[in-house]
Amino acid sequence: MKGENMGELLILVPKPKRLPKVGFDEDISKILQEAIEITKQSFGREDESIFQMYGSFENLLRSKIGTLLLTESRVNMDLFRCSLYVSEMLGEFLSGSPESYNAMDYFTRGHEECEPDFFKKGGDLCFILCTFFEGRCDRIRRPMKLVDYLDMGSQLYFTYHAETRSGIGYCMGENFREIVSVTKRSIRTL
């Protein structure tokens, strides 16, 4: 509804009350088996204080996250699914740059253009900000704080799920804070 002094109304999709039936092909045993196999791989060697990597960044990160989840006995299929998504997403981020560094831009474009991928891209940006730029998010004069980006990232993934019924949208929305924490700790061990 628009008028002379009115803006466009944006509606946030509420968090689902019950778990949807997530349509992933992998079952927990296959994901666990892959996580264990990846942890056994050698990803490189250090030579004169320079690490030479044999494999991809995605596999290295997937291995670190999988190892952390297994050593902490956090056998949660959704966290393993999120770790697979996160490692691929961060690999893509390293080889490019986002269209915008403002998460609200993605939210607005997703509604204006009726394109759900913008919600996922906004969630991805919030994930990157929370994982790598925690200190910058919590600066005194910034209008948004880390907790705001954590909430917004989760909400953007839930909105993506509501629009597409994508299982990864639900998993990332539900486990956003935990996968950010696990990824941060995994990256410190790289």
**Does residue 95 form part of some domain?**
yes
CA distances from 189 to 64, 68, 89, 184 (A): 8, 10, 19, 9
Domain that residue 33 falls in: 28-41+50-188
**Does residue 122 form part of some domain?**
yes
**Does residue 8 form part of some domain?**
no
Q: What is the pTM assigned to this prediction?
A: 0.73
Number of domains in the chain: 1
Q: What is the CA radius of gyration of the chain?
A: 18
Cβ partners under 8 Å of residue 85, min gap 6: 168, 171, 172
**Does residue 10 form part of some domain?**
no
Write out the chain's pLDDT in tens, 190 residues: 444 555 554 444 444 444 333 334 455 566 566 656 655 555 556 666 665 555 677 777 887 888 888 787 666 788 888 988 999 999 888 888 888 888 899 999 999 999 999 999 999 999 999 998 887 776 666 678 889 999 999 999 999 999 999 999 999 999 999 999 999 998 887 6
